Structure 1
Amino acid sequence: MAAFISILVVLVLAVIVYRYWYSTRKVLPPGVRPLPGPKGLPFIGRVHDVPSTATWLKFWEWSQEYGPIYQMEIFGSVHVWISSEQVANDLLSKRGSVYSDRPKIPNLPDNRTSGDYMPLLGRNDIWKRQRKFAHHIFSRAQNESQYAYPTLERKRLLHELLKNPSDYVYLLEAYTGRTISRLAWGSVAPAPQLKIDAFGLLEAISPSGALPNVIAWLEHLPAWLSPWQKTEKARHDAENVFFQQSLRDVHDAASKGEINPSYAKTFLEGKEKGGWEHEEWSYLIGMMAIAGALTIASPLQTYILAMVHHPVWQAKMQEEIQRVCGDRCPEWEDRANLPVVRSVVKEILRWRPPVPTGIPHRLENDDIYGDYFIPGGATIHALEWGICRDPVKYPDPEAFRPERWLDPSFPSYREPLTEFPNLKNHHQFGFGRRTCQGVEIVDQELFLVMSGMAWAFTIQKKKDAAGNEVEVPWNKYTSLLIAKPDSFEFDMIVRSEEKRKTIVQDGEAVENV
Structure 2
Amino acid sequence: MGAALVLIVIVLAAALYRLSKVGSRPKGYPPGPPTLPVIGNLHLMPKKKHHLQMKKWAREYGPVYSLMLGTQCMVVLSSDQAVKDLLDKRSNIYSSRGDMYLGNIASNSQRMLLLKYGETWRMIRKMCHNILHINAAKSYVPYQDLENKQMMAGMLEKPDLYYGHMRRYANSLTSQMVFGARTLSLDDPKMVQLFEYFEEFSELLGGTTAALLDCFPVLRNFPDVLVPKRKYAKWLHERESKLYYGHWMTAKGKIKNGTAMPCFCVDLVKGQDTYGFPDGLAAYTACSLLEAGSDTTSSTLIGFVQAMVLHPEVQKKARQELDRVCSGRLPTMEDEPNLPYIRGCVKESMRWMPTDILGVPHAVIKDDEYLGYKIPKGASVMWNVWAIHMDPKRHPDPRRFDPSRYEGDNQTAAEAASNLNASKRDHFVFGAGRRICQGIHVAERSLFLGISRMLWGFEFLPQKDTTGQEVMPDPNDLTEGFIVVPRPFPANIKPRSERHAQIMREEWEKAQEFLNAEKQWKKVPEGMMFSVYTPELGAKN
Tell me, yes or no, whether TM beats 0.5. Answer: yes
Aligned twin of 1:160: 154
How many residues are paired up?
Answer: 484
Q: 8 Å contact 1:73–1:79 — kept in the other structure? A: yes
Report matched runs for 1:143-182 at 5 Å: 146-182=140-176
Report matched runs for 1:114-129 at 5 Å: 116-129=110-123
Q: Match of 2:469, SS?
A: coil
Q: 8 Å contact 1:339–1:420 — kept in the other structure? A: no
1:103 partnered with 2:119: no
Counterpart-to-counterpart distance in 1, 2:203 and 2:181: 26
Give the partner amino acid of 2:204. A
Counterpart-to-counterpart distance in 2, 1:68 and 1:315: 37
Q: 8 Å contact 1:82–1:382 — kept in the other structure? A: yes
User: What TM-score does the superposition give when structure 1 sets the normalisation length?
Assistant: 0.86
Counterpart-to-counterpart distance in 2, 1:25 and 1:119: 29
Q: 8 Å contact 1:160–1:171 — kept in the other structure? A: yes
State, as a whole percentage, how many aligned pairs show the same letter: 31
Aligned twin of 2:69: 74
Counterpart-to-counterpart distance in 1, 2:271 and 2:437: 23
Give the partner amino acid of 2:102. N
The Cα shift of 1:49 comes to 3.0
The Cα shift of 1:443 comes to 0.2
Question: Closer, same or farther in 2 for the Cα pair 1:431/1:172, shift >3 Å?
Answer: same
Q: Match of 2:471, SS?
A: coil
Q: Which moved more, 1:33-42 or 1:376-385?
A: 33-42
Aligned twin of 2:56: 61
Aligned twin of 1:306: 307
The Cα shift of 1:101 comes to 1.1
Q: 8 Å contact 2:104–2:111 — kept in the other structure? A: no
Counterpart-to-counterpart distance in 1, 2:444 and 2:366: 35
Identify unmatched segments of 5+ residues in structure 1.
1-13, 407-412
Q: Deviations over 1:492-511 (max 9, x none)?
A: 11111122223334445649
Question: Closer, same or farther in 2 for the Cα pair 1:293/1:36, shift >3 Å?
Answer: same
Give the partner amino acid of 2:199. F
Q: Match of 1:427, SS?
A: coil
1:234 partnered with 2:235: yes
Identify unmatched segments of 5+ residues in structure 2.
1-13, 184-189, 418-426, 513-517, 521-541
Aligned twin of 1:319: 320
Give the partner amino acid of 2:69. I
Q: 8 Å contact 1:307–1:313 — kept in the other structure? A: yes
The Cα shift of 1:122 comes to 0.7
Q: 8 Å contact 1:19–1:76 — kept in the other structure? A: no
1:133 partnered with 2:127: yes
Q: Match of 1:133, SS?
A: helix
The Cα shift of 1:164 comes to 2.1
The Cα shift of 1:438 comes to 0.8
Q: Match of 1:71, SS?
A: strand
Counterpart-to-counterpart distance in 2, 1:188 and 1:484: 24
Counterpart-to-counterpart distance in 1, 2:273 and 2:130: 15
Aligned twin of 2:179: 185
Aligned twin of 1:384: 385
Query: 1:47 is matched with which residue: 19, 42, 46?
Result: 42
Q: Deviations over 1:392-444 (max 9, x none)?
A: 332333322211111xxxxxx53xxxx44645425321121111111011101
Q: Which moved more, 1:74-83 or 1:206-215?
A: 206-215
Counterpart-to-counterpart distance in 1, 2:181 and 2:381: 38
Q: Deviations over 1:255-299 (max 9, x none)?
A: 665422321134346654676664433321111111222222221
Q: 8 Å contact 2:133–2:438 — kept in the other structure? A: no
Counterpart-to-counterpart distance in 1, 2:104 and 2:16: 18
Question: Closer, same or farther in 2 for the Cα pair 1:204/1:470, shift >3 Å?
Answer: closer
Q: Deviations over 1:135-191 (max 9, x none)?
A: 123249817854422222112211222222222223322322222222211113553
Question: Closer, same or farther in 2 for the Cα pair 1:197/1:506, shift >3 Å?
Answer: farther
Counterpart-to-counterpart distance in 1, 2:101 and 2:117: 17
Pairwise CA RMSD: 2.9
Question: Closer, same or farther in 2 for the Cα pair 1:272/1:304, shift >3 Å?
Answer: same
Query: 1:83 is matched with which residue: 78, 87, 94?
Result: 78
Aligned twin of 1:339: 340
Aligned twin of 1:437: 438
Q: 8 Å contact 2:105–2:233 — kept in the other structure? A: no
Give the partner amino acid of 1:478. T
Q: 8 Å contact 2:24–2:37 — kept in the other structure? A: no
The Cα shift of 1:58 comes to 0.5
The Cα shift of 1:20 comes to 5.4
Q: Match of 2:470, SS?
A: coil
Counterpart-to-counterpart distance in 1, 2:138 and 2:448: 20
Counterpart-to-counterpart distance in 2, 1:507 and 1:208: 46
Give the partner amino acid of 2:369. I
Give the partner amino acid of 1:118. M
